[in-house]
Amino acid sequence: MNPIRACLAACAFFLAAPALAALPAQVDGQPLPTLAPMLERTTLAVVNVSSKTRVQVRNPFFDDPFFRRFFDMPDVPQERVQQSLGSGVIVDAVRGLVLTNNHVVERADEVTVTLHDGRTLNAEIVGRDPDTDVAVLRVPAQRLTALALADSDRLRVGDFVVAIGNPFGLGQAVTSGIVSALGRSGLRGLGYQNFIQTDASINPGNSGGALVDLRGELVGINTAIFSPSGGNVGIGFAIPANLARNVMNQLLAFGEVKRGSLGVQAQDLDARLARVLGLEEGRGAVVTQVLPDSPADAAGLQVGDVIVRLDGKTIASAEELANAEGLLPIGKALAVEYLREGTRARAELTLIASSSQALAGEKLDPRLAGARFGELSQREKQSGISGVKVLSVAASSTAARNGLEAGDIIFGVNRYEVASLAELGKLVGQRPRQILFSLYRGRRAYYLPIE
Protein backbone atom coordinates (compact mmCIF):
# COMPACT_ATOMS: atom_id res chain seq x y z
CA MET A 1 0.00 0.00 0.00
CA ASN A 2 1.12 3.53 -0.75
CA PRO A 3 2.65 4.99 2.47
CA ILE A 4 0.63 8.19 2.16
CA ARG A 5 -2.64 6.26 1.74
CA ALA A 6 -1.69 4.03 4.71
CA CYS A 7 -1.10 7.10 6.89
CA LEU A 8 -4.43 8.62 5.85
CA ALA A 9 -6.17 5.34 6.67
CA ALA A 10 -4.57 5.25 10.12
CA CYS A 11 -5.59 8.86 10.85
CA ALA A 12 -9.14 8.12 9.75
CA PHE A 13 -9.20 5.12 12.11
CA PHE A 14 -8.05 7.13 15.12
CA LEU A 15 -10.40 10.01 14.35
CA ALA A 16 -13.25 7.55 14.28
CA ALA A 17 -12.11 5.75 17.46
CA PRO A 18 -14.07 7.94 19.94
CA ALA A 19 -17.28 7.21 18.11
CA LEU A 20 -16.51 3.49 18.19
CA ALA A 21 -15.59 3.65 21.93
CA ALA A 22 -18.89 5.24 22.96
CA LEU A 23 -21.09 2.46 24.37
CA PRO A 24 -24.76 2.37 23.45
CA ALA A 25 -27.40 2.74 26.14
CA GLN A 26 -28.75 -0.71 25.26
CA VAL A 27 -27.49 -3.94 23.77
CA ASP A 28 -30.05 -6.18 22.04
CA GLY A 29 -32.79 -4.11 23.61
CA GLN A 30 -31.48 -4.63 27.15
CA PRO A 31 -30.02 -1.79 29.27
CA LEU A 32 -26.35 -2.11 30.15
CA PRO A 33 -25.66 -3.18 33.75
CA THR A 34 -24.72 -0.28 36.03
CA LEU A 35 -24.39 0.43 39.74
CA ALA A 36 -25.33 4.07 39.30
CA PRO A 37 -28.99 3.86 40.49
CA MET A 38 -27.97 2.03 43.67
CA LEU A 39 -25.11 4.44 44.34
CA GLU A 40 -27.32 7.46 43.84
CA ARG A 41 -29.23 6.28 46.93
CA THR A 42 -26.44 4.92 49.11
CA THR A 43 -23.83 7.67 48.70
CA LEU A 44 -26.26 10.12 50.36
CA ALA A 45 -25.73 8.25 53.66
CA VAL A 46 -21.91 8.18 53.56
CA VAL A 47 -20.28 11.17 55.22
CA ASN A 48 -16.83 12.62 55.76
CA VAL A 49 -15.67 12.71 59.38
CA SER A 50 -13.10 15.25 60.54
CA SER A 51 -11.67 15.26 64.06
CA LYS A 52 -9.41 17.74 65.84
CA THR A 53 -7.25 16.86 68.84
CA ARG A 54 -5.46 19.52 70.85
CA VAL A 55 -2.06 18.34 72.02
CA GLN A 56 -0.02 20.38 74.46
CA VAL A 57 3.57 20.90 73.35
CA ARG A 58 6.31 22.69 75.15
CA ASN A 59 9.05 24.76 73.59
CA PRO A 60 12.37 23.72 75.17
CA PHE A 61 13.27 27.42 75.50
CA PHE A 62 10.31 27.80 77.89
CA ASP A 63 12.23 25.74 80.44
CA ASP A 64 14.85 28.49 80.63
CA PRO A 65 13.63 31.15 83.13
CA PHE A 66 16.03 33.74 81.66
CA PHE A 67 14.62 33.22 78.16
CA ARG A 68 11.05 33.53 79.41
CA ARG A 69 11.81 36.68 81.35
CA PHE A 70 13.83 38.28 78.55
CA PHE A 71 11.08 37.77 75.99
CA ASP A 72 8.26 38.31 78.49
CA MET A 73 6.72 34.90 77.74
CA PRO A 74 4.07 33.53 80.09
CA ASP A 75 4.60 30.05 81.52
CA VAL A 76 1.79 28.55 79.45
CA PRO A 77 2.26 25.42 77.34
CA GLN A 78 1.58 25.78 73.64
CA GLU A 79 -1.03 23.79 71.78
CA ARG A 80 -0.78 21.91 68.53
CA VAL A 81 -3.93 20.79 66.73
CA GLN A 82 -3.86 17.35 65.12
CA GLN A 83 -6.44 16.67 62.43
CA SER A 84 -7.75 13.32 61.26
CA LEU A 85 -9.95 12.57 58.26
CA GLY A 86 -12.12 9.54 57.77
CA SER A 87 -15.58 8.44 56.75
CA GLY A 88 -18.84 7.48 58.40
CA VAL A 89 -22.25 6.01 57.62
CA ILE A 90 -25.63 7.37 58.71
CA VAL A 91 -27.60 4.39 60.01
CA ASP A 92 -30.49 6.17 61.76
CA ALA A 93 -31.86 9.34 60.14
CA VAL A 94 -34.41 9.96 62.91
CA ARG A 95 -31.87 9.95 65.75
CA GLY A 96 -28.97 11.22 63.65
CA LEU A 97 -26.72 8.23 64.39
CA VAL A 98 -23.50 7.74 62.45
CA LEU A 99 -21.24 4.67 62.56
CA THR A 100 -17.51 5.15 62.07
CA ASN A 101 -14.19 3.73 63.28
CA ASN A 102 -12.93 4.35 66.78
CA HIS A 103 -9.47 5.27 65.48
CA VAL A 104 -10.98 8.09 63.41
CA VAL A 105 -12.32 9.93 66.50
CA GLU A 106 -10.18 8.52 69.33
CA ARG A 107 -8.98 11.28 71.70
CA ALA A 108 -10.73 13.90 69.53
CA ASP A 109 -11.75 17.20 71.13
CA GLU A 110 -13.94 18.23 68.19
CA VAL A 111 -15.67 16.11 65.55
CA THR A 112 -17.48 17.43 62.51
CA VAL A 113 -19.43 15.53 59.87
CA THR A 114 -19.76 16.76 56.28
CA LEU A 115 -22.82 15.43 54.46
CA HIS A 116 -23.11 14.56 50.79
CA ASP A 117 -24.98 17.85 50.15
CA GLY A 118 -22.10 19.89 51.58
CA ARG A 119 -23.53 20.68 55.02
CA THR A 120 -21.06 20.45 57.90
CA LEU A 121 -22.48 19.49 61.31
CA ASN A 122 -20.93 19.28 64.75
CA ALA A 123 -21.03 15.70 66.02
CA GLU A 124 -21.28 14.27 69.51
CA ILE A 125 -19.37 11.08 70.33
CA VAL A 126 -22.04 8.78 71.78
CA GLY A 127 -19.57 6.00 72.57
CA ARG A 128 -16.44 4.21 71.42
CA ASP A 129 -15.28 0.61 71.52
CA PRO A 130 -11.53 0.34 70.86
CA ASP A 131 -11.62 -3.46 70.89
CA THR A 132 -13.78 -3.65 67.75
CA ASP A 133 -12.74 -0.22 66.37
CA VAL A 134 -16.36 0.96 66.29
CA ALA A 135 -17.58 4.41 67.32
CA VAL A 136 -21.06 5.95 67.29
CA LEU A 137 -21.63 9.65 66.59
CA ARG A 138 -24.79 11.75 66.83
CA VAL A 139 -25.54 14.71 64.57
CA PRO A 140 -28.65 16.94 64.34
CA ALA A 141 -31.35 14.91 62.59
CA GLN A 142 -32.15 17.30 59.77
CA ARG A 143 -32.93 15.98 56.28
CA LEU A 144 -30.68 12.94 56.66
CA THR A 145 -30.59 9.76 54.59
CA ALA A 146 -29.72 6.47 56.31
CA LEU A 147 -28.53 3.08 55.08
CA ALA A 148 -30.32 -0.09 56.10
CA LEU A 149 -28.11 -2.66 57.84
CA ALA A 150 -28.03 -6.05 56.15
CA ASP A 151 -27.67 -9.42 57.86
CA SER A 152 -23.92 -9.82 57.38
CA ASP A 153 -24.10 -13.47 58.50
CA ARG A 154 -25.65 -14.23 55.12
CA LEU A 155 -22.62 -12.97 53.19
CA ARG A 156 -20.76 -15.54 51.09
CA VAL A 157 -17.31 -15.51 49.58
CA GLY A 158 -17.73 -14.26 46.03
CA ASP A 159 -20.58 -11.83 46.74
CA PHE A 160 -20.14 -8.49 44.98
CA VAL A 161 -19.58 -5.50 47.30
CA VAL A 162 -18.91 -1.79 46.89
CA ALA A 163 -16.76 0.36 49.20
CA ILE A 164 -17.73 4.01 49.61
CA GLY A 165 -15.59 6.52 51.45
CA ASN A 166 -13.26 9.49 51.41
CA PRO A 167 -9.84 8.14 50.35
CA PHE A 168 -6.87 10.42 51.09
CA GLY A 169 -9.31 13.26 51.87
CA LEU A 170 -9.93 13.81 48.15
CA GLY A 171 -13.72 13.55 48.38
CA GLN A 172 -16.21 10.75 48.10
CA ALA A 173 -15.21 7.83 45.90
CA VAL A 174 -16.54 4.37 45.08
CA THR A 175 -14.66 1.11 44.44
CA SER A 176 -16.02 -2.36 43.77
CA GLY A 177 -14.93 -5.93 44.31
CA ILE A 178 -15.99 -9.17 45.90
CA VAL A 179 -15.96 -10.71 49.35
CA SER A 180 -12.59 -12.46 49.40
CA ALA A 181 -12.91 -14.17 52.80
CA LEU A 182 -14.99 -14.16 55.97
CA GLY A 183 -14.13 -14.41 59.67
CA ARG A 184 -10.65 -12.99 59.26
CA SER A 185 -8.59 -12.34 62.42
CA GLY A 186 -4.97 -11.99 63.45
CA LEU A 187 -4.45 -8.33 62.49
CA ARG A 188 -1.99 -6.66 64.82
CA GLY A 189 -3.14 -3.71 66.94
CA LEU A 190 -6.85 -4.60 66.86
CA GLY A 191 -8.87 -6.33 69.55
CA TYR A 192 -11.81 -8.65 68.82
CA GLN A 193 -11.69 -9.56 65.15
CA ASN A 194 -14.17 -11.11 62.76
CA PHE A 195 -13.48 -9.21 59.57
CA ILE A 196 -14.88 -9.33 56.08
CA GLN A 197 -11.96 -9.37 53.63
CA THR A 198 -12.53 -7.72 50.27
CA ASP A 199 -10.50 -6.79 47.21
CA ALA A 200 -12.49 -3.56 46.77
CA SER A 201 -9.90 -0.78 47.10
CA ILE A 202 -9.78 0.59 50.66
CA ASN A 203 -7.28 3.40 51.15
CA PRO A 204 -6.46 5.83 54.00
CA GLY A 205 -9.53 8.00 54.54
CA ASN A 206 -11.91 5.14 53.69
CA SER A 207 -11.87 4.17 57.39
CA GLY A 208 -15.39 4.24 58.77
CA GLY A 209 -16.97 4.22 55.33
CA ALA A 210 -19.57 1.84 53.96
CA LEU A 211 -19.22 -1.59 52.44
CA VAL A 212 -22.54 -2.28 50.71
CA ASP A 213 -24.02 -5.12 48.71
CA LEU A 214 -25.65 -4.69 45.31
CA ARG A 215 -29.00 -3.95 47.00
CA GLY A 216 -27.40 -0.89 48.62
CA GLU A 217 -27.59 -2.34 52.14
CA LEU A 218 -24.75 -1.92 54.63
CA VAL A 219 -22.85 -5.17 55.11
CA GLY A 220 -19.73 -3.74 56.77
CA ILE A 221 -17.79 -0.74 58.04
CA ASN A 222 -14.45 -0.33 56.26
CA THR A 223 -11.70 -0.38 58.85
CA ALA A 224 -8.24 -1.45 57.69
CA ILE A 225 -5.97 -2.35 54.83
CA PHE A 226 -3.09 -4.78 54.65
CA SER A 227 -0.34 -3.01 52.77
CA PRO A 228 3.44 -2.75 53.06
CA SER A 229 3.32 0.63 51.28
CA GLY A 230 0.25 2.19 52.93
CA GLY A 231 -1.80 2.00 49.74
CA ASN A 232 -4.29 -0.51 48.44
CA VAL A 233 -2.95 -3.90 47.33
CA GLY A 234 -6.28 -5.69 47.08
CA ILE A 235 -6.59 -6.75 50.73
CA GLY A 236 -9.04 -4.67 52.74
CA PHE A 237 -11.05 -5.43 55.86
CA ALA A 238 -14.47 -4.39 57.10
CA ILE A 239 -16.32 -4.88 60.38
CA PRO A 240 -19.46 -6.98 59.75
CA ALA A 241 -22.72 -5.06 60.03
CA ASN A 242 -24.10 -7.47 62.64
CA LEU A 243 -21.10 -6.86 64.91
CA ALA A 244 -21.29 -3.09 64.39
CA ARG A 245 -25.04 -3.18 65.15
CA ASN A 246 -24.48 -5.08 68.40
CA VAL A 247 -21.74 -2.68 69.52
CA MET A 248 -23.87 0.35 68.64
CA ASN A 249 -26.88 -0.95 70.57
CA GLN A 250 -24.75 -1.60 73.67
CA LEU A 251 -23.08 1.81 73.47
CA LEU A 252 -26.49 3.45 73.24
CA ALA A 253 -27.93 1.38 76.09
CA PHE A 254 -25.02 1.18 78.54
CA GLY A 255 -22.36 3.61 77.32
CA GLU A 256 -19.96 0.65 77.04
CA VAL A 257 -19.77 -2.82 75.53
CA LYS A 258 -20.32 -5.74 77.87
CA ARG A 259 -18.48 -8.85 76.76
CA GLY A 260 -18.74 -12.46 77.73
CA SER A 261 -16.19 -14.62 79.49
CA LEU A 262 -15.77 -18.32 80.21
CA GLY A 263 -13.65 -17.49 83.23
CA VAL A 264 -10.39 -19.11 82.11
CA GLN A 265 -6.84 -18.07 81.36
CA ALA A 266 -5.23 -20.00 78.52
CA GLN A 267 -2.13 -20.35 76.39
CA ASP A 268 -1.36 -21.93 73.01
CA LEU A 269 -0.81 -25.67 72.78
CA ASP A 270 2.65 -26.08 71.27
CA ALA A 271 4.71 -29.24 70.69
CA ARG A 272 6.61 -29.06 74.02
CA LEU A 273 3.45 -28.48 76.05
CA ALA A 274 1.67 -31.30 74.25
CA ARG A 275 4.48 -33.70 75.25
CA VAL A 276 4.33 -32.59 78.89
CA LEU A 277 0.55 -33.05 78.97
CA GLY A 278 0.77 -36.42 77.24
CA LEU A 279 -1.16 -35.24 74.20
CA GLU A 280 -0.62 -35.67 70.52
CA GLU A 281 0.80 -32.59 68.85
CA GLY A 282 -2.05 -30.40 67.71
CA ARG A 283 -3.72 -27.04 68.12
CA GLY A 284 -5.89 -25.61 70.86
CA ALA A 285 -5.98 -23.40 73.97
CA VAL A 286 -4.56 -24.92 77.14
CA VAL A 287 -6.41 -23.84 80.31
CA THR A 288 -3.89 -22.43 82.81
CA GLN A 289 -6.40 -20.99 85.31
CA VAL A 290 -10.08 -21.39 86.08
CA LEU A 291 -11.68 -18.54 87.98
CA PRO A 292 -13.90 -19.62 90.87
CA ASP A 293 -17.68 -19.37 90.34
CA SER A 294 -17.17 -18.80 86.61
CA PRO A 295 -19.05 -20.61 83.79
CA ALA A 296 -15.95 -22.75 83.17
CA ASP A 297 -15.81 -23.67 86.84
CA ALA A 298 -19.50 -24.61 86.87
CA ALA A 299 -19.00 -26.71 83.70
CA GLY A 300 -16.17 -28.66 85.35
CA LEU A 301 -13.23 -27.43 83.27
CA GLN A 302 -9.83 -27.91 84.90
CA VAL A 303 -6.30 -26.60 84.54
CA GLY A 304 -4.59 -28.62 81.80
CA ASP A 305 -7.72 -29.11 79.69
CA VAL A 306 -7.24 -28.17 76.03
CA ILE A 307 -10.19 -26.29 74.51
CA VAL A 308 -10.53 -27.23 70.84
CA ARG A 309 -14.06 -26.04 69.94
CA LEU A 310 -16.42 -23.39 71.22
CA ASP A 311 -19.96 -22.89 69.97
CA GLY A 312 -19.23 -25.19 67.05
CA LYS A 313 -16.13 -23.31 65.89
CA THR A 314 -12.60 -24.67 65.98
CA ILE A 315 -10.28 -23.06 68.55
CA ALA A 316 -6.65 -23.27 67.43
CA SER A 317 -5.02 -20.84 69.89
CA ALA A 318 -5.52 -18.82 73.06
CA GLU A 319 -6.05 -15.74 70.90
CA GLU A 320 -8.88 -17.42 68.99
CA LEU A 321 -10.49 -18.41 72.30
CA ALA A 322 -10.35 -14.84 73.63
CA ASN A 323 -11.67 -13.54 70.31
CA ALA A 324 -14.60 -15.97 70.38
CA GLU A 325 -15.43 -15.06 73.98
CA GLY A 326 -15.55 -11.36 73.18
CA LEU A 327 -17.74 -11.74 70.10
CA LEU A 328 -20.34 -14.19 71.43
CA PRO A 329 -23.44 -12.61 73.00
CA ILE A 330 -23.78 -12.60 76.78
CA GLY A 331 -26.25 -15.10 78.14
CA LYS A 332 -25.89 -17.49 75.23
CA ALA A 333 -25.88 -21.20 76.06
CA LEU A 334 -23.07 -22.88 74.17
CA ALA A 335 -21.01 -26.03 74.04
CA VAL A 336 -17.30 -26.26 74.73
CA GLU A 337 -15.26 -29.25 73.56
CA TYR A 338 -11.93 -30.03 75.19
CA LEU A 339 -9.26 -32.69 75.61
CA ARG A 340 -8.44 -34.10 79.04
CA GLU A 341 -5.63 -36.63 79.22
CA GLY A 342 -6.14 -37.41 75.55
CA THR A 343 -9.88 -38.02 75.85
CA ARG A 344 -12.32 -35.69 74.12
CA ALA A 345 -15.09 -34.29 76.34
CA ARG A 346 -17.94 -31.83 75.97
CA ALA A 347 -19.64 -29.46 78.42
CA GLU A 348 -22.51 -27.00 78.27
CA LEU A 349 -22.21 -23.52 79.78
CA THR A 350 -23.72 -20.06 79.59
CA LEU A 351 -21.58 -17.05 78.84
CA ILE A 352 -21.70 -14.30 81.46
CA ALA A 353 -20.51 -10.70 81.29
CA SER A 354 -16.84 -10.42 82.08
CA SER A 355 -17.56 -7.30 84.15
CA SER A 356 -19.66 -9.47 86.46
CA GLN A 357 -16.42 -11.19 87.42
CA ALA A 358 -14.96 -7.93 88.71
CA LEU A 359 -13.51 -8.20 92.21
CA ALA A 360 -14.62 -5.77 94.90
CA GLY A 361 -11.65 -4.39 96.83
CA GLU A 362 -13.26 -4.86 100.25
CA LYS A 363 -13.53 -8.60 99.59
CA LEU A 364 -9.79 -8.74 99.06
CA ASP A 365 -8.62 -6.45 101.85
CA PRO A 366 -10.26 -3.64 103.88
CA ARG A 367 -7.49 -1.31 102.70
CA LEU A 368 -8.84 -1.61 99.15
CA ALA A 369 -12.48 -0.86 100.00
CA GLY A 370 -14.18 1.23 97.32
CA ALA A 371 -12.14 -0.11 94.39
CA ARG A 372 -13.24 -2.61 91.73
CA PHE A 373 -10.73 -4.70 89.79
CA GLY A 374 -11.17 -6.43 86.44
CA GLU A 375 -9.31 -8.13 83.62
CA LEU A 376 -7.61 -6.17 80.85
CA SER A 377 -9.34 -5.81 77.51
CA GLN A 378 -8.25 -7.97 74.60
CA ARG A 379 -6.71 -4.94 72.90
CA GLU A 380 -4.66 -4.10 75.98
CA LYS A 381 -3.44 -7.69 76.20
CA GLN A 382 -2.46 -7.70 72.52
CA SER A 383 -0.41 -4.54 73.05
CA GLY A 384 1.82 -6.52 75.42
CA ILE A 385 0.46 -5.18 78.71
CA SER A 386 -0.03 -7.67 81.55
CA GLY A 387 -1.87 -7.07 84.79
CA VAL A 388 -5.22 -6.23 86.38
CA LYS A 389 -7.16 -3.02 85.75
CA VAL A 390 -8.70 -0.76 88.38
CA LEU A 391 -12.20 -0.37 86.95
CA SER A 392 -13.47 2.24 89.40
CA VAL A 393 -12.63 3.91 92.70
CA ALA A 394 -15.38 5.41 94.85
CA ALA A 395 -14.78 8.99 95.94
CA SER A 396 -13.55 9.40 99.54
CA SER A 397 -13.13 5.61 99.88
CA THR A 398 -10.22 3.89 101.59
CA ALA A 399 -8.82 2.90 98.18
CA ALA A 400 -9.05 6.51 96.98
CA ARG A 401 -7.26 7.79 100.11
CA ASN A 402 -4.52 5.25 99.44
CA GLY A 403 -4.00 6.79 96.00
CA LEU A 404 -5.62 4.25 93.65
CA GLU A 405 -7.21 5.73 90.53
CA ALA A 406 -9.58 4.30 87.94
CA GLY A 407 -7.56 3.16 84.93
CA ASP A 408 -4.50 2.09 86.92
CA ILE A 409 -3.07 -1.22 85.74
CA ILE A 410 -1.56 -3.29 88.57
CA PHE A 411 1.18 -5.59 87.33
CA GLY A 412 2.80 -6.51 90.61
CA VAL A 413 2.05 -7.03 94.32
CA ASN A 414 4.95 -6.97 96.78
CA ARG A 415 7.29 -7.47 93.81
CA TYR A 416 5.42 -10.59 92.59
CA GLU A 417 4.02 -10.37 89.06
CA VAL A 418 0.24 -10.23 88.65
CA ALA A 419 -1.40 -11.13 85.34
CA SER A 420 -5.00 -11.98 86.31
CA LEU A 421 -7.74 -11.45 88.86
CA ALA A 422 -7.04 -14.89 90.26
CA GLU A 423 -3.41 -13.99 90.94
CA LEU A 424 -4.39 -10.67 92.50
CA GLY A 425 -6.88 -12.43 94.76
CA LYS A 426 -4.29 -15.02 95.77
CA LEU A 427 -1.63 -12.44 96.73
CA VAL A 428 -3.84 -9.81 98.34
CA GLY A 429 -6.44 -12.18 99.75
CA GLN A 430 -3.82 -13.53 102.15
CA ARG A 431 -4.00 -10.14 103.92
CA PRO A 432 -0.26 -9.40 103.92
CA ARG A 433 0.99 -6.92 106.51
CA GLN A 434 2.22 -4.65 103.74
CA ILE A 435 0.81 -4.16 100.23
CA LEU A 436 3.05 -2.57 97.62
CA PHE A 437 1.48 -2.27 94.19
CA SER A 438 3.54 -1.94 91.02
CA LEU A 439 1.29 -0.19 88.53
CA TYR A 440 1.07 1.68 85.26
CA ARG A 441 -0.66 5.05 85.27
CA GLY A 442 -0.76 6.40 81.77
CA ARG A 443 2.65 5.71 80.28
CA ARG A 444 4.56 5.75 83.56
CA ALA A 445 5.23 3.02 86.11
CA TYR A 446 4.88 3.64 89.84
CA TYR A 447 5.15 1.97 93.23
CA LEU A 448 2.06 2.60 95.36
CA PRO A 449 2.11 1.53 99.05
CA ILE A 450 -1.32 0.66 100.45
CA GLU A 451 -1.76 1.41 104.15
Element containing residue 322 per DSSP (H, E): helix 318-327
Rg (CA), the chain: 28
Q: With contact defined as beta carbons under 8 Å apart, do 162 and 211 qualify?
A: yes
Of 243, 252, 262, 239, the closest CA to residue 375 belongs to 262
Local structure of 302: helix, strand or coil: coil
Residues 251 and 412: their CA atoms lie apart, in Å, by 32
Catalytic site residue 116? no
Please pick, among 50, 87, 103, 294, the residue that the annotation labels catalytic: 103
Distances 373 to 128, 129, 360, 422 between C-alpha atoms, Å: 21, 20, 7, 11
Please pick, among 50, 51, 152, 207, the residue that the annotation labels catalytic: 207
Distances 235 to 166, 201, 228, 252, 380 between C-alpha atoms, Å: 18, 8, 11, 32, 25
Local structure of 9: helix, strand or coil: helix
Of 88, 82, 21, 22, the closest CA to residue 56 belongs to 82
Residues 149 and 297: their CA atoms lie apart, in Å, by 38
Task: For residue 8, count other CB atoms closer than 10 A to its CB.
Answer: 11
Distances 270 to 188, 327, 378, 435 between C-alpha atoms, Å: 21, 25, 21, 36
- List CB contacts of 86: < 8 A, sequence separation 6 or more: 48, 49, 50, 51, 100, 101, 104, 105, 165, 166, 205, 206, 207, 208, 209
Give the CA count within 13 Å in the CB-facing half-sphere of 244: 36
Q: With contact defined as beta carbons under 8 Å apart, do 354 and 374 qualify?
A: yes
User: What does the chain come to in residues?
Assistant: 451
DSSP 149: B
Q: What values do phi and psi take at 245, rounded to 5?
A: -65, -45
Task: For residue 21, count other CB atoms closer than 10 A to its CB.
Answer: 7
Catalytic site residue 355? no
Cα distance from N-terminal residue to C-terminal residue, the chain: 104
Please pick, among 92, 129, 131, 133, the residue that the annotation labels catalytic: 133
Residues 123 and 114: their CA atoms lie apart, in Å, by 10
- Name the residue type at position 138: R
Q: Show which residues are catalytic.
A: 103, 133, 207
